[in-house]
């Protein structure tokens, strides 16, 4: 089975890859599993959208914290990805998530927006938030990412 990741052209910048992904529907394989999509990307930022539902519930009857953590990690990572040259890669070293309010299947669509705080030769520092359509904050994160030559 071919995924969207398999279709990305080699030898292009990170921002070019992300924009191609958005144009192709924006669903990385994890987005298929958790039902979220990369909707926008620019120089130093990226945004994902999804609608949390019962498919991501935990045993106590709310959306599992891992759903928010995954959206935040994706937004932080893709914000850094947008700064990569055609020869660079990255990986998350640390992700710190803060949960501000619980999500449920009644929350409706949410948007995770990530942005680069600093981007260096070896490390990137990013931050992200998840908000609903009314602008209410559900979770936030900071991330440290290792930048390397491929």
17-57 pLDDT, tens digit per residue, is: 999 999 999 898 999 999 999 999 999 999 999 999 999 99
Residues 6+ apart with CB under 8 A from 149: 87, 88, 89
Least confident of 10-14, 64-68, 97-101: 10-14
DSSP 56-74: GB-TTSSB-HHHHHHHHHH
124-150 pLDDT, tens digit per residue, is: 999 999 999 999 999 999 999 999 998
Half-sphere exposure of 101 (CA within 13 A, CB side): 12
Domain architecture of the chain: domains with CATH: 5-149 (3.10.129.10)
Which residue would you say has higher pLDDT here, 6 or 86? 86
Please report the sign of the dihedral spanned by the C-alpha atoms of residue 9, residue 16, residue 81, residue 148. Answer: positive
Task: Quote the CA–CA distance of 121 and 13 in Å, as a whole number.
Answer: 15
């Amino acid at each position: 089975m071919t995924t969207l990741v398999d279709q990305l052209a080699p030898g292009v910048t990170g921002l070019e890859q992300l924009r191609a992904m958005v144009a192709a529907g924006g669903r990385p394989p994890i987005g298929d599993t958790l039902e979220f999509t990369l909707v926008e990307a620019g120089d130093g930022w990226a945004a994902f959208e999804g609608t949390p539902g019962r498919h991501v519930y935990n045993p106590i009857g709310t959306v599992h914290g891992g759903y928010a953590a995954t959206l935040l990690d994706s937004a932080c990572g893709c914000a850094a990805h947008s700064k990569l040259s055609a020869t660079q890669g990255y990986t998350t070293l640390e992700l710190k998530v803060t949960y501000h309010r619980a999500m449920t299947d009644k929350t409706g669509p949410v948007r995770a927006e990530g942005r680069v705080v600093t981007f260096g030769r070896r490390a990137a520092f990013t931050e992200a938030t998840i908000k609903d359509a009314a602008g209410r904050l559900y979770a936030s994160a900071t991330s440290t990412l290792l930048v390397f030559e491929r």
